[in-house]
Structure 1
């Protein structure tokens, strides 16, 4: 059922303008149908993690302003990104009716720090990265790291001097310790140096002030002689609090009372309380005080030829002059009142020279989905219109005022809240208070008696509040993500604040609308019918080109087959087009599956064809728009959680439910060793960054490559010519010049064409390869000017291993009330329970159960999800464990 109604009060019979505005509305409707807005939210089990834990998530993908479950996209991409904008892990998850699940296992060697969890569909790339799901989470490491940092900074001349204190988790300083460090700026390494800590574990690093937006990457050995990496965000000490002014509608109009918004932030980008005083000469023209998030607004009267000064005073006692926006003698301004309970009022202010009797159009819409239209003549300098809130949905809506040529002259977003967009829920527990290790049964009833259908999909997490530092009420949630973050760009501090248990903070939301950029349509594209750049993806695909052997000319009409190496009888075929392009689409296969792609020409059936496979394209990683949520010294801040997790992991290890922490072998890569490795090495860690390196000089005495490597590689054995990692006795992955090969193809590589062989066995090198690196890798680089592939790869055939669909793991659930149930002798869980598959039946009923842990105090149940009408559910229930 269509929720929105288009209410036209402007159409006059026989009016040319009426016909033209109707065309604009038709174009908007066509644009809306061709460019539906897809949104994505991840419900996480908790808010901060440590190495060895798993990030569990449920994906909700919706379409349009009504937040209906999306059937648009069939797959989504989820990425874990570190502070240096490097994707450390990624997965592709299937979406069924807009729903999906996944989990990231955090390796023991992961670097502590602030990470981004980013999710999007290919269709969402047609908008902007700013509207992807993008959340900053904190990850600590108490498995192989065991080091805390404490960072401070001061200014000395042209440099900023950073003092980084290194201590073990028990508080012992890492004294007289040699370190290597890099300065990363703009995603590139700009400096590499060495340093030493003093008796107190302090490392002093002097950096030029030009590196104001950079990271420090430290490498050293901890007290257990294990290699440790640290990535620290650099915060210059010279930055001051700042204030920006935002005239409502974007322009200060002279000889008018103008509403002007204030945004005050500290050097880390977080809101700060401030008082801004406006003066004309010695007279005070107005005063605006901000809320705790640094936002405020007020009215001042300005004149074109009278200068206005502004000065801000902050809570910390500092003050700063604030640049005033320009004042215009001619133009338009708008004032919107959204605080009335039943209507939204908007007033268009017009300079006297523009009072022309021409027509203007008020259009209320969301990304071209029109809700209301009215028309007035510019017969006076103030025009007012109003809209009934009952006809408006919940979300960020835009008022666009169009001139007689139907071009926007002023626009203003505002947030409308309609209670009908929230899903009523009653959550009942089987008891009011519980003891440790007791079963908790949760019954849900969603919807109301008047609903004809009450189906819905939900997920729930249960957290021991005593074990987390983060605020559950202020964190991003399904309401703030689908209703705010998906339509606003830039950093939104504490998004959960706007939708608290006491209700929606409408005044603060309006301040947010006045100070935040928002997602809007490009009016110039309405008539263009521009085809979106990125297609809807229903499933996976493998594509590429067939070319004449050794040439760039396409091989037209080639017969191409895709064969699964799991079952050679399972294949699909296609034909390349006039450009040599071929595509296998509608594929569904799990991660780590390899395929053979073969091609033969159309005329003689010969395989004298070059095959070029398209690289998997992912969205580029830009700056973290939520950088205000990044913190320094993460291990130190979450030390209590680290110590609790270490105890919990020890119990899991005793029960055989978790492998012991990996003891990484010491790796020393000397400058001379790096020089032996080809600079063209495809090693993702960088040429020479490996556990062992063999060069062409060391391989010159053997007839075949597998014979030459046998007995020379530490921790590698050969069975039938296939390399096996002795740690687990598993076959290793071969990578030749960036291409993945089967292990039995090693002997076919011409040894005279090999420049170097790099062995990657330990997690600090293999983790960057994800699932492909689980068993270790041999990275082989051919000599420049030759191609080792030409000596062994059959013509017209190649091996590919695209990223497949993630295979979900099972959340561990202890059971204490049956004899043969899963039990722990010490149960110190932080995430008490994770339930991603809650489905309400036609009467709105659903239930789940779990057991409390050994921790006493307050627990919280967080339930989120949607029903089939797009109504959003978020419910928090706390209970006591004695």
Structure 2
């Protein structure tokens, strides 16, 4: 009987344990499913026409927005933000593009004031801000300045008599040393200036700056006047001057287990943060060689190595530059778990869990293959021996980065490993047929595109696809030009991996396959998106940044002159283009208001009007100006170059010659370079209480109290002083049409002939608004121009009652309007021709759409320069299959 009772108790205990285990598994799966449904992963890729530009030129781009691992075109966000970030990490330009069915086309003109250097071009949606900036689209482009700058630098360090110096050589584009002058310099650590001074250029065109503890490795800013009397600025990164080669070791799955075969990956890095070839030796007890391997050109490799308990291991790296480095191997654990993944099979993924002897306890272990809450495969086995094997077919899961998690009975991870799976069904081949084998100058090139469904041919699957194409002449960029970013690397790798990835497009072959071993070595040495299983219950918190279906205008209303919110105030957003066009909303209990799902072009002004529940306008209005996402300088820091003008001299000079033609033909704005004039007189000060709806001082002309001290009437003071304004019968008349202007006195619209009755001693400022940029905000009142008068505070206090209350003028950033890419045509009857065709981008075609049969075509003309032309076509079809094709052809 006692034996039966014990057996029954054991069965009850086991049943309870299994029930609890099943409940925990079910709960975890439910949380993950909810997370995956409520937090879809949005990703962006941007194709640009090229990667090297000069100031004054235009970056042409196309955006692709997709959802999740299936990469289907996104209908989640309708707004995308594109930003240009200078070498110092400042956002110098931003565009907002409307996404239609997941795509957008745009351009960004590069201001002549940009400093030469490596710039980051990044793109993201508001929804993507809920995750790390590491997962934004970002590529580094080099921008030179040979228009207003034309000075090249070569920077390095030297040591003289035990003292280190920064040495910067300055010369013009012809190589002649810059004449003697003074150079001002600053070293910055973030926003803080840590060192500054001035140095003379020597006879060889160099300056030397002492290296000290304050400026070592900091960002250097140079400022000087070039021989053309133009102010020039340079930015130079100095931290790579003081670094050395390094080697890092990464155990597979993060753990090394004693008395077991462990795979270890290595990454060899040069001072610039890029990979360097190295031969690596793993030494046992500093003498015996346990393993030897050699890295690839990107500095990565991995090797299986049996590690004995009680033995110490070191790693010796012999770098390609003949330097060496020795490090200790990460700690070897006597108890725990490790994982070994084998993807050499074309059909299956194999994963072996290695378990130390003390952990062989016959408990359940789970194998989970997942990505951000989406579980693609789950299996379980008992920990009945030291090695437990799992497998899954590659065709059962999508293409991309996924995580293998080995979980214990409580569904908590024991060990994790990121992998890349290639599903051949996601490959979409593209065939390009050209009408000739080679072409001459100014020849028409016809391209016929066909998508190949492969095994899906003959099914009901449509082959509609959105594509974009760029064509350049490799002669201007060098035969070895590599495109380091592609749609494959953006959506398959960068959107899921953290940190810097050198040449991400390198891992994808032209035929749609991948460099399996090298890609796996990359994943072993890289951080990735993953779920914090210990905080599983908090996964479904409300995201901070909402999905944007359009632009938003948000703000707060408070009781006049107080901090208390104006709860339930009625708020209107009024377009200054049409005062009958407005939107209504009601502020919440905190005084917060929002206008959502707006679409308006850039440079549009609005009025925000508010009144309290009693209909009174005694309200202060605050507008929440949107702030951009933080800049992650570490992500692509190794790609930031110094001395860009010198490195890309030929391309920049060629671009300058071409764009001078565009300016002469009126196809782009002509840039007039003038000598800088330092103005010491300050802009007239306008009182803060000015009722100018554009903001105090934002006017075509400002007259202050100092200008009005010698007149008996205001009309007498203003007559002859106001540009574009004449007085007739005491009324101000706009010389544009000889029409009567509107006078605004302390916010009150008054008759224009009232000027003669105003005491000039009571006036603080007069603002003249004639330009449409200033008058449009006044609607019909601004049609003929306005004169805005502000009285002195306290001199005429009663007039303060006329100040507009419950009204605020704003100019939020709107959708950027698309410009047309200029395409020369050399047909006989065409007037779209250049006298000398030296195009930098031969062609840009962002709007290619295939038909139901997967076919499309486009054409363009070659330029006046021979050489090898390269065409890059990227895009995706309606099923989310990515497309990339690169072809070269000759122009003779």
Q: TM-score, normalised by structure 1?
A: 0.86
Give 2:542's match in structure 1, choosing from 513, 531, 538.
531
Displacement of 1:83 in angstroms is 1.0
Residue 776 of structure 1 corresponds to which residue in structure 2?
Answer: none
Report SS of the residue matched to 1:500: coil
Deviation digits for residues 503-541 of structure 1 (CA, Å, limit 9, x no counterpart): 411110000011111111222343332111111001011
Deviation digits for residues 328-371 of structure 1 (CA, Å, limit 9, x no counterpart): 11111111111211111111111111111111111011112111
Is 2:43 aligned against 1:39?
Answer: yes
Task: Give the Cα–Cα distance (whole angstroms) in 2 for the partners of residues 707 and 826 of structure 1.
Answer: 58
Displacement of 1:210 in angstroms is 4.5
- CA contact under 8 A between 2:705 and 2:761: conserved in structure 1? no
Is 2:381 aligned against 1:371?
Answer: no
Report SS of the residue matched to 2:608: strand
Task: Give the Cα–Cα distance (whole angstroms) in 2 for the partners of residues 88 and 485 of structure 1.
Answer: 24
Task: Give the Cα–Cα distance (whole angstroms) in 1 for the partners of residues 389 and 763 of structure 2.
Answer: 78
Residue 67 of structure 1 corresponds to which residue in structure 2?
Answer: 71
- CA contact under 8 A between 2:194 and 2:214: conserved in structure 1? no
Give 1:244's match in structure 2, choosing from 240, 243, 248.
248
Superposition map of 1:86-97 within 5 A: 86-97=90-101
Residue 573 of structure 1 corresponds to which residue in structure 2?
Answer: 584
Task: Give the Cα–Cα distance (whole angstroms) in 1 for the partners of residues 542 and 891 of structure 2.
Answer: 57
Task: Give the Cα–Cα distance (whole angstroms) in 1 for the partners of residues 388 and 715 of structure 2.
Answer: 83
Runs of 5+ consecutive residues of structure 2 not aligned to the other structure = 1-14, 689-700, 728-751, 768-790
CA gap of 1:811–1:159, structure 2 versus 1, over 3 A, is farther
Is 2:464 aligned against 1:460?
Answer: no
Q: Work out which of the two has the higher radius of gyration on C-alpha atoms and give 1 or 2.
A: 2
Give 2:395's match in structure 1, choosing from 384, 390, 415.
390
Residue 409 of structure 2 corresponds to which residue in structure 1?
Answer: 404
Task: Give the Cα–Cα distance (whole angstroms) in 2 for the partners of residues 67 and 709 of structure 1.
Answer: 65
CA gap of 1:709–1:192, structure 2 versus 1, over 3 A, is farther
Displacement of 1:288 in angstroms is 2.4
Report SS of the residue matched to 2:519: helix
Task: Give the Cα–Cα distance (whole angstroms) in 1 for the partners of residues 643 and 18 of structure 2.
Answer: 70
Displacement of 1:211 in angstroms is 3.6
Is 2:498 aligned against 1:498?
Answer: no
Superposition map of 1:809-848 within 5 A: 809-848=819-858
Deviation digits for residues 92-139 of structure 1 (CA, Å, limit 9, x no counterpart): 110011111111101222111000001100110111100000111100
Is 2:264 aligned against 1:256?
Answer: no
Task: Give the Cα–Cα distance (whole angstroms) in 1 for the partners of residues 717 and 547 of structure 2.
Answer: 49
CA RMSD of aligned residues (A): 3.5
- CA contact under 8 A between 2:606 and 2:809: conserved in structure 1? yes
CA gap of 1:451–1:872, structure 2 versus 1, over 3 A, is farther
Superposition map of 1:703-782 within 5 A: none
Task: Give the Cα–Cα distance (whole angstroms) in 2 for the partners of residues 652 and 838 of structure 1.
Answer: 26
Residue 285 of structure 1 corresponds to which residue in structure 2?
Answer: 290
Is 2:597 aligned against 1:593?
Answer: no
Displacement of 1:224 in angstroms is 1.4
Residue 881 of structure 1 corresponds to which residue in structure 2?
Answer: 891
Displacement of 1:200 in angstroms is 1.8
CA gap of 1:460–1:523, structure 2 versus 1, over 3 A, is same
Is 2:346 aligned against 1:337?
Answer: no
Task: Give the Cα–Cα distance (whole angstroms) in 2 for the partners of residues 23 and 314 of structure 1.
Answer: 51
Q: Count matched residues.
A: 809
Task: Give the Cα–Cα distance (whole angstroms) in 1 for the partners of residues 792 and 564 of structure 2.
Answer: 26
Residue 529 of structure 2 corresponds to which residue in structure 1?
Answer: 519
Task: Give the Cα–Cα distance (whole angstroms) in 2 for the partners of residues 180 and 669 of structure 1.
Answer: 20
Deviation digits for residues 797-834 of structure 1 (CA, Å, limit 9, x no counterpart): 01000000000111111111032330101000010111
Is 2:570 aligned against 1:562?
Answer: no
Deviation digits for residues 617-667 of structure 1 (CA, Å, limit 9, x no counterpart): 221112141111111100001000112112212222332323433213423
CA gap of 1:349–1:242, structure 2 versus 1, over 3 A, is same
CA gap of 1:276–1:553, structure 2 versus 1, over 3 A, is same
Report SS of the residue matched to 1:396: strand
Residue 807 of structure 2 corresponds to which residue in structure 1?
Answer: 797
Residue 326 of structure 1 corresponds to which residue in structure 2?
Answer: 331
Displacement of 1:589 in angstroms is 0.2
Task: Give the Cα–Cα distance (whole angstroms) in 2 for the partners of residues 667 and 501 of structure 1.
Answer: 54
Displacement of 1:79 in angstroms is 0.2
Is 2:134 aligned against 1:130?
Answer: yes
CA gap of 1:318–1:561, structure 2 versus 1, over 3 A, is same
- CA contact under 8 A between 1:700 and 1:752: conserved in structure 2? no
Residue 218 of structure 1 corresponds to which residue in structure 2?
Answer: 222
Task: Give the Cα–Cα distance (whole angstroms) in 2 for the partners of residues 218 and 459 of structure 1.
Answer: 40
CA gap of 1:337–1:756, structure 2 versus 1, over 3 A, is farther
CA gap of 1:556–1:68, structure 2 versus 1, over 3 A, is same
Task: Give the Cα–Cα distance (whole angstroms) in 2 for the partners of residues 370 and 303 of structure 1.
Answer: 36
Superposition map of 1:346-745 within 5 A: 346-448=351-453, 449-452=457-460, 453-469=462-478, 473-501=482-510, 503-528=513-538, 529-603=540-614, 605-668=615-678, 701=709
Moved more, 421-430 or 653-662: 653-662
- CA contact under 8 A between 1:677 and 1:756: conserved in structure 2? no
Report SS of the residue matched to 1:568: coil
Displacement of 1:26 in angstroms is 2.2
CA gap of 1:717–1:696, structure 2 versus 1, over 3 A, is closer
- CA contact under 8 A between 2:499 and 2:634: conserved in structure 1? no
Residue 182 of structure 1 corresponds to which residue in structure 2?
Answer: 186
Q: TM-score, normalised by structure 2?
A: 0.85
Displacement of 1:223 in angstroms is 1.9
Is 2:170 aligned against 1:166?
Answer: yes
- CA contact under 8 A between 2:658 and 2:840: conserved in structure 1? no
Moved more, 228-237 or 393-402: 228-237
- CA contact under 8 A between 2:240 and 2:272: conserved in structure 1? no
- CA contact under 8 A between 1:84 and 1:184: conserved in structure 2? no
Task: Give the Cα–Cα distance (whole angstroms) in 1 for the partners of residues 111 and 345 of structure 2.
Answer: 52
Report SS of the residue matched to 1:569: coil
- CA contact under 8 A between 1:464 and 1:858: conserved in structure 2? yes
